[in-house]
Chain A
Amino acid sequence: MMTIRRSIVLALPLLALGVRAHAQTAPYDIELGLRIVTVDGNKEMYRTQTGETSGIVLRSFSLLTPGPDGAKFFDRLRIDASDLGAGPAGSLRIEADKAGVYRFRLGYRHLNVFSALPAFANPLVGSGITISQHTYDRTRNIIDADLELFPESSVMPFIGYSFNRLSGPGTSTYSIGGDEFRLAQSLEESEHEFRAGAGFHLGPFRGSVTQGWRSVRGNESSSLLSSSGDGNNPDPLLGRPVSARDILRNDRTHVSTPFSNLYVTGQLGKRLRLTGNYVRFAADSTGDGSENTAGSFVSFALSRFFNELSEQASSRAKNITWRGGARAEVAVRDGVDAFAGYQKEHRDLEGSALIDTLFLQTLTFGGVDPRDVARVLNTSGSISRGEDVLNAGVSARAPGPFAFRVELRDAKQTVTVSPDLSEIVVPGNQDGHFARDIRTLDTNASYTLFGVTLGAAWRRDRANDPIFRTDFRDRDRLRLRATWRAPKWVRAAATAEETKQTNSQPGIDLAGKSRQYGGDVEVTPHEGVAVRGSVTRFIARNSSLIRRPENFATGRSLYAENGTSYEAGGGVRHAALSFDASMARFTNRGDLPFALERFRITAGCDLPPKTKMGVIIEIARDKYHEPSAAYSDFDARRVGIFVRYHP
């Protein structure tokens, strides 16, 4: 994939030169250059959050050309690329069309997926050891291609293909024998999806039928990271030091999923519109894994010490899900519609595994009875879930400047969990039948006059019982919005949103409230000159009862977020000159206090004036500070210089 990305970065400038002769009909724009990033402080935190890296970047490329009249292959070709090369994410999109013959879309996306956070999943961070225990440095490449034949005809066959691949190294932890050990991890997972079908337009009926196949293959191998054999816990357990000499684990997974997707719509008369939809997939997963571990370990499940472990596992899991429904919309009058619908979904999950574990060279905690111990876990479990949603409402969009919408929904959810007894390793409610009924009133209204829009939305949910402890019984969400657009020169907006959710049941006592409100203004005093600014507040408070596992005493979980975001910026564009600057500051005084400042300047001009060649310079600074964990702080500067060519 790296080769693909490099090829694209190199090929697009060549393509641009190739079409230069046709510049009148093939306008394109290319920005290619170098970006340099320097980071003071925690480079890993910077990469996790922002991910910019030094190197050559195709900042942007766009080509949009009509084919010559009567062209054989296309009458429109569009290519857009951005941020290919160094950096956290880049994309390429190609569209080609020939009216009445075909439509083709190809998308390529590349993402660097990096995470190394010292405080996350690191039990040693309190003792000053800030090396991240869970990290990854992976790439994700996604390709989507779709070809539709004979668009706008009564039957439109199509085929499509999607590819998604996640691969790269990482580190993880493995809890075994009374301690946790850091593992080096190598992961490669890829998904291929093929789909074929046809859209149709027959009289008053339109729709689409798709049949597809999805195949996922995953390979993961893990091994003990060098110098990690002592684990996280330096203390002996039951008088015996716990350490690992060797850990080697391999897992392979294959998932095959045929799926079908169908929808039909019908316009019956001038007023009635009907929709029917159905989707079904059946995922079948098989897996096998092996493990060989050596060292000095303690097993409380066996009540024995052991020195080696050898394990073979095979597994199979299925997920059969279908969803279907019907909707009707009736045009009561111009701009006023009544609608109603019913959707039903059902999911059956089944899983079974045979895990054969051999503990070698074991001893009782008393140091006697040396022998090897075999354990076989033959388990199967299932989860069945259903949901029925009924809704009805009215949408009125046309009484002058006023619009409103009212909708009622009733969602009935059921979950049945049937775990195998061998799976239950800790006491608790891991099986049974759970049901939940949620009734919703969802309304919104807006009023627009002379460039001013006032909007309000209110959603009220009432549920009988929770399935998860964090489920609400009562939830209310209110949104208010005001926007003023004076022609051409000013736009101002203010937004306020509050969500409250509660469940006063004894033992849960959930009370959560979040508020977001802010305002922004954009002024364009002169053509080509713009100034903007915004302030946003994020406030959240959540409280619920918990049971602390160390003593099973009831306590209270409290979470708070108190964030403020300031953003300001401005830009000037005049002939061949452009200048844009912005700054932003986000501070949080909640459970994880921090301050994040961002500063950006982008300036561009054509050199010499009135030519098609230009230069773009970008300067950026990101500064992150956590008052309670200075090892997370970073101060990163980024400078980029790009050459632009735009015939």
Chain B
Amino acid sequence: MRFFVTAVAGILFLCGTDALVRSYAQTVVPPAKTVVPLPKQGAEADAPMSCGDCHADEAKAFRTNAHGHGKSKDDAIPNAVCESCHGDGKAHAEAGGDKALILTPRGRAGADKTCLACHDILSDRISRHAGMHANSAAINCLTCHSMHASEPRSPHLLAKRQLDLCASCHATQAASFRGKPFAHHLGRGGTECTSCHEPHGRPGAESLRTTITGELPCLNCHFEKRGPFVFPHAAGAAGGDCLTCHEAHGSSNPKMLKRAAVAQLCIECHSPLTPNTLGSQPPSFHNLNLPRYQNCTTCHVAVHGSNRDPQLLK
């Protein structure tokens, strides 16, 4: 509650500063140095000016950019492609490249007006307006995506390698992946943060990149755990899920388990000291003082479910 009151007071205070920073999310950056194009020679002098005349590298690279492919003519990118984001460039060109006369999308407003003009996608999972990474002063499309300087080996015009990009905000999760001994090999073999998370998704469970049948993303790879089984482990079938026992972001424990000792993990559920909870009590011959019984999965091998044995022994 104290946090909530502080947060509300903070909101009121900070909204008061709005007027001071109204120019913060401008879509036009102030002028810096200008680029004066070399005068065209001969017949070229009569040709209309192309963006690529000055921005040759950007124009060449844009032939393979997702925004430019299929639109080139005579191996050149038409001005219309550039102008779809940067606005009419005629005045900018005629002024010798005056940066004040060209639109450069920046900040929330720039991303909203430029990127979302085409990419305002709404789906069962994705919402550009109510999503967890919706454009704001803190984060916007251009925080993660770079139109002209994307990481060459990353798809979707990402500004950096995906793990580095996500780690710039989600540092503890990244450190867990990199530091803990039992973790998914992130960045290897096509396994990335977005293998499980939908960065444009709604918050909470909706941000997970579920299977096409709406199950947890774990099953996208580990399909063999899906079942259905005649004798399912209730921890998965009755409402729990993989994360009941496993740490998806890396674990200090073998098999990415939440506990270092197998028996401890199992017995925390299988101790019906109160009514109305799922989980049976092992009978008395399981003497946890003996090493033989400290690893439940020595015998209960089919811990994810079985078609052969009610006790998950095979």
Can you name 11 extra interface pairs (CB under 8 A) apart from A399-B15, A446-B137, A557-B268?
A109-B189, A175-B298, A232-B292, A331-B129, A401-B24, A426-B281, A429-B275, A429-B277, A453-B138, A483-B168, A506-B274
B171-204, CB < 8 A from A: 171-172, 175-176, 178-182, 185, 188-191, 203-204
- Chain A residues with CB below 8 A from B314, complex form: 174, 249, 291
Partner of B130, one of A313, A329, A497: A329
Report A-chain residues with C-beta under 8 Å of the C-beta of B17: 400-401, 449
Known: A174-B314, A467-B239. A66 touches B69 (CB 8 A): yes
* A259 touching B179 in the complex, CB below 8 Å, given contacts A232-B292, A289-B308: no
Contacting pair B301 A173 (CB below 8 A): yes
**9 closest Cβ pairs, A-B complex:** A89-B189, A99-B70, A428-B280, A351-B230, A507-B273, A91-B190, A277-B124, A403-B136, A400-B18
B278 touching A285, Cβ below 8 Å: no
Binary contact readout A50-87 vs B (1 if CB under 8 angstroms, 0 otherwise): 01000000001010111011000001101010110001
A275 to B314, CA, bound (A): 44
Q: Does B47 contact A (CB under 8 A)?
A: no
B: which residues have CB within 8 A of A?
Answer: 3-4, 7, 10-11, 14-15, 17-19, 21-22, 24-25, 63-64, 66, 69-75, 108, 112, 122-124, 127, 129-130, 134-138, 152-153, 155, 167-172, 175-176, 178-182, 185, 188-191, 203-204, 212-214, 221, 223-224, 226-232, 234-235, 237-240, 244, 252-255, 258-262, 264, 267-295, 297-299, 301, 307-308, 310-311, 313-314
Specify which chain B residues have a CB less than 8 angstroms from the CB of A507 in the assembled complex: 273-274
- Indicate if the CB atoms of B137 and A448 lie closer than 8 Å: yes
The reply on A283 being an interface residue by CB < 8 A is yes
A468 and B244 contact, CB distance less than 8 A: yes
- Give complex CA distance A630, B308 in Å: 38
- The interface residues of chain B lying within 8 Å CB-to-CB of A458 are 3-4, 7
Complexed CA–CA distance, A193 and B219 (Å): 13
Point out the residues of chain A lying under 8 angstroms from B189, CB to CB.
83, 88-91, 109-111
Q: Is A637 an interface residue (CB 8 A)?
A: no
Q: How far is the CA of A455 from the CA of B7 in the complex (A)?
A: 11
A140 touches B221 (CB 8 A): yes
- Which of A6-14, A547-555, A601-609 sits within the interface? A547-555
Q: Is B138 touching A584 in the complex (CB atoms < 8 A)?
A: no
- Could you tell me the distance in whole angstroms from the C-beta of A141 to the nearest C-beta in chain B? 10
In the complex, A18→B21 CA distance in Å? 55
Q: Which residues of A contact B4 (CB under 8 A)?
A: 443, 458
Give every chain B residue within 8 A of A456 (Cβ-Cβ): 3, 7
Residues of B within 8 A of A90 (CB): 188-189
Contact present for A175 and B138 (CB under 8 Å): no
A423 vs B229: C-alpha distance when bound (angstroms): 14
Docked Cα-Cα span, A148 to B216, in Å, equals 25
Q: Which of B155, B213, B270 has the most CB of A within 10 A?
A: B213
Contact A251 B231 (CB under 8 A): no
| A353 in contact with B123 (CB, 8 Å) | no
Closest to B282 in A: A549
Task: Please determine whether A317 and B298 come into contact, CB atoms closer than 8 angstroms.
Answer: no
Known contacts A91-B189, A97-B69, A82 near B153 by CB under 8 Å: yes
Using known A-B contacts A91-B190, A257-B213, determine if residue A548 contacts B297 with beta carbons closer than 8 Å: no
B21 to chain A, nearest CB (A): 5
The reply to whether B260 and A592 contact each other, CB–CB distance below 8 Å, is yes
Are B182 and A426 interface neighbours, CB within 8 A?
no
Contact of B308 among A99, A265, A315, A423 (CB under 8 A): A315
The reply to whether the CB of A227 lies closer than 8 angstroms to some CB of chain B is no
- CB-CB nearest in chain B for A99: B70
Cross-chain pairs A/B with CB under 8 angstroms, 26 sampled: A48-B182, A60-B153, A89-B185, A91-B188, A107-B190, A109-B189, A123-B290, A164-B221, A174-B314, A189-B224, A339-B130, A397-B134, A397-B137, A403-B136, A415-B278, A417-B234, A428-B280, A442-B204, A447-B14, A448-B137, A468-B235, A469-B273, A495-B172, A545-B273, A565-B176, A590-B260
Q: Does A478 contact B (CB under 8 A)?
A: yes
- CB contacts under 8 Å to B, within A226-274, are 232-233, 249, 251, 253, 255, 257, 259, 261, 263, 265, 267, 273
For B154, give the chain A residue with the smallest CB separation.
Answer: A80
Closest CB of chain B to A496's CB: distance in Å?
9
Q: Tell me if A285 and B229 are in contact (CB < 8 A).
A: yes
Nearest opposing residue in chain B for A432, CB measure = B276
Bound Cα distance from A594 to B182, whole angstroms: 12
Q: Does A133 contact B (CB under 8 A)?
A: yes
Are B14's CB and A544's CB within 8 A? Answer: no
Residue A305 CB within 8 A of the other chain: no
B237 contacts which chain A residues (CB < 8 A)?
349, 383, 385
- Report Cα–Cα, A80/B151, bound state, in Å: 12
* Residues of A with C-beta under 8 A to B244: 468, 470
Q: How far is the CB of A357 from chain B (nearest CB, A)?
A: 11
Residues in A with CB closer than 8 Å to B275 are 429
Do residues A281 and B213 form an inter-chain contact, with CB atoms below 8 A?
yes
Q: How far is the CB of A308 from chain B (nearest CB, A)?
A: 17
Mark out the residues of chain A between 530 and 554 whose CB falls within 8 Å of any chain B CB in the assembled complex: 534, 536, 538, 544-552, 554
A122 at the interface (CB under 8 A from B): yes
A443 touches B7 (CB 8 A): yes
- Residues of B near A405 (CB, < 8 A) are 203
Q: Of the listed stretches A34-42, A366-374, A515-523, name the one at the interface; the rest are far from the partner chain.
A: A515-523
- Closest chain B CB from A57 CB (angstroms): 12
Pick from B14, B276, B282: contact of A429, CB below 8 A: B276
Whether the pair B155, A590 counts as a contact (CB closer than 8 A) is no
From A95, A124, A547, give the contact of B273 (CB < 8 A): A547
Determine whether the beta carbon of B7 is less than 8 Å from that of A318. Answer: no
Is residue A137 contacting chain B, with contact meaning CB distance below 8 A?
no
Mark A487-514 against chain B: 1 for CB-CB distance below 8 A, else 0. Answer: 0000101010100000001111000000
In Å, the complex CA distance between A497 and B22 comes to 32
A140 to B287, CA, bound (A): 37
A259 near B212 (CB under 8 angstroms)? Answer: yes
A210 within 8 Å of B by Cβ? yes
Contacts of A493 in B (CB 8 A): 168-169, 171
> For A176, what are the chain B residues with a Cβ–Cβ distance below 8 Å?
313
In the complex, the answer to whether B123 meets A275 with C-beta atoms within 8 Å is yes
B281 touches A175 (CB 8 A): no
